[in-house]
Amino acid sequence: MALDRTIGVEDLIENIRAYNPRTNAELIRAAFAYGGQMHAGQYRHSGEPYFSHPVAVASILTEMQLDDATIITALLHDTIEDTRSTYTEIRDRFGDEIAELVDGVTKLTNLQLSSSETKQAENFRKLLMAMSKDLRVILVKLADRLHNMRTIVSMRPEKQVQKARETMDIFAPLAGRMGMQWMRDELEDLAFKVLNPEGRGSLMRRFIKLQQETGDVVKKITADIRAELRKARITAEVRGRAKKPYSIWRKMQDKGLSFQRLSDIYGFRILVETEADCYRVLGAMHQRWRAVPGRFKDYISQPKSNGYRSIHTTVSGRDGRRVEIQIRTHQMHDVAEAGVAAHWSYRDGVPSENPFAVDPTKWVAGLTEQFEAAEDHDEFLEHVRLEMYADQVFCFTPKGEVIKLPRGATPLDFAYAIHTRIGDSCVGAKVDQMRVPLWTRLKNGQSVEIMTAAGQRPQATWLDIVATGRAKAAIRRSLREEDRERFVKLGSELARVAFEHVGKRATDKALSTAAKQLGLTSVDEVLARLGSAELTARDVVETLYPELAADTGEEIDATRAVIGLGPDQSFERAQCCQPVPGERIVGISYRGKGVIVHAIDCEALAEFEDQSERWVDLHWHSGNHPAVHTISLDLTISNDAGVLGRICTLIGEQKANISDLLFVDRKPDFYRLIVDVDLKDAEHLHNVMLAVEAESDVASISRHRDLDRKP
């Protein structure tokens, strides 16, 4: 829906008066004149006068029927940033409220939301802070972005892609989260047009062909629905439309369907006067057409957090074609269109008192509260993305309390939503009184019962099961605490052995002194780093007794290199991950084979997740290991005379032995080969790879791991 670029102040005032007869026309005129004066001589990339942009933004907000302060903010939103205007001058001319709003939009404009992850996380926090002060700042910014996307063709191609990606990742989901689905749909489609013009064009061509083959399906189905409503004597307004290209594209990607197999590409809304009529309409639709299982949602009895209320159902309509229907009252529709902005909207000439509009202050508080638990930048961004895109499901506790969760949530998310303690101690779940795996995806209306046990602790695999930021943060926090306790205990034993090797004792005083020398905060920090292999026992001993460090003991027997085995247990290194001393390890016991030692991050461990009785907690002896631990290196080198010989010499200079060599790919210019090298430990491996990587004829070097070589 393009806007008139030449709209004048009187046209703007007339648009506002249509929904707000009491508008302060003089203040609107003053803001229009001031904005035009400040932007005089400035032009957009398209060559138009720059002030046409703030006017267009104001016009978008009049369509949303917003208050005078928001409209005036739109007219002035670029003055502080792009002109000689100041906060003080705007405050003196238009008052504190408008000055604060303009200043808030200016600060948002200066945020680089598509910058590096760390900076992006901090800027998201600032965005949420701006929202918490006055949500109208975000409304102006969203309207600003919408107009920029409508006119994006005048930007440089690389700038178009940057803006489109930022729109798709941030502004479109934010509009959706705020309940303004129409704006989300348009922003996504405008960004889709830039990011994937071929895909969008292909969809449009298929859609036009479908219309030519089937005729005006929307008109036919609308007529069918109206006929059924007349039979049921229900007065209603019926609206039908084809879905936006990006909405269709996303559904094709999510479901892995071709366009021909995608049936529900049309959407219909039925607007009625009362809530009771909504359910009468639902009955009439289901009586006439067969409902599609799993496609019913009642957001009237369980509204979304942004105030959205509607009944969603999908039926097999004309010619078996799936038809998606939304049923709501006119008041519910106002909120569905305006979302959180409905709080400032006007209706029948007075500020709206829509009973379904949410209090924006409470809404923002609820949103920000969900992000406060994040302890680092990655967690915070994960929270934002999960929550922005969330489509909610509503489940019940055994006592009938409602728990709201995002689509894709599991019983574990449900447990953490009740309380962190419940989540941490969860051992099982029942859904509708049936025992289900913890990774089960919950559906609307299900009753969930969580089973707990006192000794249970969160497992690392849970991170792949849960969908909510709250659950992920709680699991990570617990794992960190649990790991730390284990690492401190392990580090204490490593320190004791290392100090005894040089005839000393690992006293608190000695370790405290070592902590200061190493720049660490406490003895526990030293022990935790020892236990997690971030620090070696030799490092600690050298810090205090450099003259004794060279004599930390004889070479360790390779057959006894691992600590944690039972008296009669032997071990083998797993060939899939080839762990070496200095790396974190875990053992898997086999009947008749002893224990197979894996690196802690080995993908092969996934198949043993449900066999905890086979896991053995292991760690390497600290000290001088012999160079007998074979690892495989994946090398790509130039196909030139003498290159392979130089590589072998480099490895030999690092006191490492090549035990095998296999060419896997021979090209005229490059060879790719797998080299088996016998090494002492992780540090030895690092030194070898560093020396080889520095050779100019080496294109790449990496550690080769082969899951097919499992025990």
Beta bridge partners of 315: 291, 323
Catalytic-role residue among 11, 48, 82, 166:
82
Amino acid type, 698: V
- Least confident range from 337-341, 438-442, 647-651: namely 337-341
pLDDT band at 238 (very low <50, low <70, confident <90, very high): very high
Reference 78, options 13, 30, 31, 17; nearest CA is 31
Concatenated DSSP letters of 172-209: HHHHHHTT-HHHHHHHHHHHHHHH-HHHHHHHHHHHHH
The pLDDT of residue 540: 84
The pLDDT of residue 123: 53
Residue 26 pLDDT exceeds 90: yes
**Cβ proximity of 270 and 240 under 8 Å:** no
**Cβ proximity of 395 and 446 under 8 Å:** yes
State the maximum Cα–Cα separation within the chain, in Å, rounded to a whole number: 98
Could you tell me where the beta strands, DSSP code E, fall in 408-455? 426-431, 434-436, 448-452
Distances (CA, A) of 218 to 222, 230, 259, 325, 371: 6, 18, 18, 12, 42
pLDDT band at 296 (very low <50, low <70, confident <90, very high): confident
Distance of CA 481 to the CA centre of its chain: 24
pLDDT band at 73 (very low <50, low <70, confident <90, very high): very high
CATH of 629-709, one of 3.40.50.720, 3.30.70.260, 3.40.190.10, 3.40.50.2300: 3.30.70.260
Reference 62, options 106, 32, 90; nearest CA is 32
Beta bridge partners of 617: 586
Model confidence, pTM = 0.53
pLDDT band at 450 (very low <50, low <70, confident <90, very high): very high
**Residue 107 exposed, middle or buried by CB count within 10 Å (0-12, 13-18, 19+):** middle
| Pairwise pLDDT comparison (114 vs 508), residue with the higher score | 508
Residue 573: enclosing H or E segment and its boundaries? strand 571-573
Reference 631, options 539, 706, 704, 562; nearest CA is 704
pLDDT band at 426 (very low <50, low <70, confident <90, very high): very high
Other residues' Cβ atoms within 10 Å of the Cβ of residue 197: 10
The pLDDT of residue 410: 92
- Hey, what's the torsion of the CAs at 428, 430, 435, 438, to 10 degrees? -50
User: What would the mean pLDDT of 262-277 be, rounded to a whole number?
Assistant: 83
CATH superfamily of 9-195: Hypothetical protein af1432 (1.10.3210.10)
3-state secondary structure of 402: strand
Residue 331: enclosing H or E segment and its boundaries? helix 330-338
Exposure string (b/e) for 454-482, b if CB count within 10 Å is 16 or more? eeeebeeebeebbbbbbbbbbbbbbbeee
Q: Which residue has the tokens 């070479």?
A: 555
3-state secondary structure of 550: coil
In whole angstroms, give the CA distance from residue 53 to residue 146.
Answer: 11
CATH of 363-477, one of 1.20.120.350, 3.10.20.30, 3.30.70.260, 3.40.50.150: 3.10.20.30
Domains 9-195 and 199-351 share a fold: no
In whole angstroms, give the CA distance from residue 618 to residue 586.
Answer: 5
pLDDT band at 697 (very low <50, low <70, confident <90, very high): confident
Distance of CA 472 to the CA centre of its chain: 12
The pLDDT of residue 366: 58
Residue 127 pLDDT exceeds 70: no
Cα of first residue to Cα of last residue in the chain, in angstroms, is: 63
Residue 76 pLDDT exceeds 90: yes
The pLDDT of residue 547: 55
Eight-class DSSP state of 49: B
Reference 71, options 109, 113, 110, 102; nearest CA is 102
Q: Is 81 a catalytic residue?
A: yes
Distances (CA, A) of 316 to 70, 289, 319, 654: 44, 6, 8, 71
| Pairwise pLDDT comparison (250 vs 383), residue with the higher score | 250
User: What would the mean pLDDT of 682-711 be, rounded to a whole number?
Assistant: 81
The pLDDT of residue 235: 92
Eight-class DSSP state of 168: I
Chain segment 143-177, per-residue pLDDT in tens: 999 999 999 988 888 889 888 888 887 788 778 77
Residues composing the chain: 711
Could you tell me where the beta strands, DSSP code E, fall in 402-479? 402-406, 426-431, 434-436, 448-452
The pLDDT of residue 352: 56
In whole angstroms, give the CA distance from residue 557 to residue 329.
Answer: 79
Residues 6+ apart with CB under 8 A from 60: 3, 74, 143, 146, 147
Residue 4 pLDDT exceeds 50: no
- Least confident range from 88-92, 336-340, 343-347, 608-612: namely 343-347
User: What would the mean pLDDT of 178-195 be, rounded to a whole number?
Assistant: 87
In whole angstroms, give the CA distance from residue 148 to residue 451.
Answer: 52
Beta bridge partners of 443: none
Average pLDDT, the chain: 80
Distance of CA 141 to the CA centre of its chain: 22
The pLDDT of residue 125: 57
Alpha helices (runs of H) in 64-180, residue ranges in sequence order: 68-76, 79-82, 87-94, 96-109, 117-133, 136-150, 157-166, 172-177
- Least confident range from 375-379, 616-620, 651-655: namely 375-379
Of all residues in the chain, what percent carry a pLDDT higher than 90? 22
Number of Cα atoms under 13 Å in the Cβ half of residue 385: 14
Q: Is 708 a catalytic residue?
A: no
Beta bridge partners of 631: 677
CATH of 199-351, one of 3.30.460.10, 3.40.190.80, 3.40.50.150, 3.90.650.10: 3.30.460.10
pLDDT band at 360 (very low <50, low <70, confident <90, very high): low
pLDDT band at 110 (very low <50, low <70, confident <90, very high): low
Residue 332 pLDDT exceeds 60: yes
Residue 503 pLDDT exceeds 90: no
The pLDDT of residue 554: 63
| Pairwise pLDDT comparison (80 vs 249), residue with the higher score | 80
Residue 237 pLDDT exceeds 70: yes
Residue 377 pLDDT exceeds 50: no
Q: Which sequence spans correspond to the domains of the chain?
A: 9-195, 199-351, 363-477, 479-552, 629-709
**Cβ proximity of 450 and 418 under 8 Å:** yes
**Sign (positive or negative) of CA dihedral 480, 482, 487, 492:** positive
Residues 6+ apart with CB under 8 A from 214: none
In whole angstroms, give the CA distance from residue 637 to residue 669.
Answer: 9
- Hey, what's the torsion of the CAs at 658, 662, 665, 666, to 10 degrees? 80
Catalytic-role residue among 81, 359, 369, 557:
81
